[in-house]
Amino acid sequence: GWRALLLPQLNRQSLYVYGSEVAVEQECVRQLESGVFVIHPFSPMSYYIMCMMAITFLNLIGIPMEIAFLDGSSGLVWESFNVFSDTLFLMDVVLNFRMGIITEDAEEAILDIKQIRVNYLRTWFIPDIIAAFPIGYIDLHYQNEDSPSKTNKMMRILMFVRILSLIRLARVSRLVRFFNEVEKVSNANLEVVRLFFRILSLFMMIFLLCHWNGCIQYFVPMLEEFPADCWVRKENLMNSTVIAKYSWGVFRALSQMIALSYGSMDAPTYVEMWIVMVSMVSGCMMYTVLVANATAMIANLDPAAKEYKSKMSRLEHYMTFMKLPPELQLRISNYYQARYGGKWFDEKDVMETVSSSLKEQILMVMCSRLLRKVPMFQNREENFINSMLLKLEYEVFQEGDVIVRQHVPGDRMFFIDHGQVLLETDSYERELCDGDYFGTCVLTKGKHLATVRALTDCQCFSLSWNNLQDVLGSFPEIRKD
């Protein structure tokens, strides 16, 4: 029934936090056993926050427009929306005392009513209760009061109520809170989602700042009852449409915020002078925040490439300090480029952190076809092949590198994944390429019978004598073969 709306649902976020379907079911049981009315953070009921966000954003756009431009004649639809919004925000305050809390370090949601209440009172209660002040009801009361003649006193009361409704702009805190909650819960390997919401929240805040500033540009002359030297009279906007007035207000605001001085910086009164100064300062702050956030996003967009550049910078300092010749420095730089491809990663760390099953699958994809070309590995059981895969090490050689030398004791054999090498003996030369292997003297721990030189950049897998012996120790029947 309706209780199912309060229980956690099986989705990507809940699975990330709890780890399995069984754990999510246990969380449902834990909530039911508590026997109290509480909304779980992962329940369908919690998605009403999305509705709150939409209503909040409409409020933050509409309220300044109503106060500045509509002159008390906002119409039945907008008054109904105001009453609905106030009701919704009051309900939101009540529901937040029953809304479970998910913390980053906790293994389960906090569903204890006392803890929820204390946490809410300490954090978002004050901004929420201010934002929920029912201005819509007060406004409706005065609008519907049928007076034979609306005196100046009544008009002053209405103006006071309209100015008081600016309190509802405190609902911007609900918007900030929404983005904080989304970012906290969306860390379930959803970096793209977090980045999207960060960019969205940034542009929404910039849009609201420009919108509010545009409304203030008109609102202040209106409070002064449009003096003769105000910009509204100068631009002949007294009898213009709301769209025309709003467009001019936003135009003035943007001209001041980005300091273009495009013919709209005149400030004949002290009040307008202060508005211009505040606009310019807020514009500078907006520009600073935008640049700072854009820089941070770009810097964090590709951390692997950033780490690679950092490593290369340290490498260059080291090579300069050691006074290595330019040719060698170039070969070292080329090696790093061939080995890492411009993105830094720690292969050993990756292989150590993944499970043994995943490690086997990774290596099976990377080099199983190579092992199956070697006669000693053909027609062998899967366990032996998997054990051998775990012992292989990835290596990169550059064009011209001598990989092994003739008459030198062999301690490794090599499998070519990509590239081309030249095998040279006293009597002949032979080229080897993808899928070939050399250095089989490791099987007998003898000496290399040929010198092998890389003709191109080569990506190889090597198998050391010690690792080979470790594997053969577990498979004595293969050792006999």
For the chain, the C-alpha Rg in angstroms (whole number) is: 36
Q: Tell me the mean pLDDT in the region 247-263.
A: 80
The Cβ of residue 191 has, within 10 Å, a number of other Cβ atoms equal to: 12
**What does the angle CA 444 – CA 449 – CA 453 come to, to the nearest 5 degrees?**
120
More confident of the two residues 325 and 357: 325
pLDDT tier, 323 (very low <50, low <70, confident <90, very high otherwise): very high
pLDDT at 157: 58
The Cβ of residue 365 has, within 10 Å, a number of other Cβ atoms equal to: 9
pLDDT at 184: 58
Ranges 71-80, 152-161, 243-252: which has the least confidence: 152-161
The Cβ of residue 55 has, within 10 Å, a number of other Cβ atoms equal to: 18
pLDDT at 154: 54
pLDDT tens, 101-116?
877 665 678 888 999 9
Whole-model pTM over 0.75: no
- Residue 126 CB-half CA count within 13 A: 2
pLDDT at 188: 46
pLDDT at 11: 74
Q: Which helix (H) or strand (E) holds 396?
A: strand 393-397
pLDDT at 326: 92
Q: Which two tokens stand for residue 239?
A: 């009898």
Task: Say which DSSP state 376 is in.
Answer: G
The CA distance from 79 to 238, in Å, is 25
Which is nearest to 339 in space by CA: 423, 242, 417, 260? 417
The CA distance from 95 to 62, in Å, is 25
pLDDT tier, 376 (very low <50, low <70, confident <90, very high otherwise): low
**Domain boundaries of the chain, sorted by first residue:** 1-145+161-170, 186-294, 304-340, 347-480
pLDDT at 480: 65
The CA distance from 299 to 294, in Å, is 8
| DSSP for 402-461, written as a single string | EEE-TTSBP-EEEEEEE--EEEE-SS-EEEE-TT-EE-GGGGTT-B-SSEEEESS-EEEE
Give the length of the chain: 481
pLDDT tier, 150 (very low <50, low <70, confident <90, very high otherwise): very low
Is 90 exceeded by the pLDDT of residue 81?
Answer: no
State how far the alpha carbon of 309 is from the alpha carbons of 166, 319, 337, 397, in Å.
50, 15, 11, 21
More confident of the two residues 140 and 447: 447
Which is nearest to 83 in space by CA: 156, 160, 143? 143
Task: Say which DSSP state 99 is in.
Answer: B
Amino acid at 242: V
For the sheet containing 458-464, what is the strand order?
393-397, 458-464, 412-418, 437-438
Which is nearest to 88 in space by CA: 108, 59, 117? 59
pLDDT at 247: 94
Do the Cβ atoms of 28 and 8 come closer than 8 Å?
yes
Q: Which CATH class is domain 347-480?
A: mainly beta
Do the Cβ atoms of 363 and 391 come closer than 8 Å?
no
Q: Tell me the mean pLDDT in the region 89-93.
A: 88
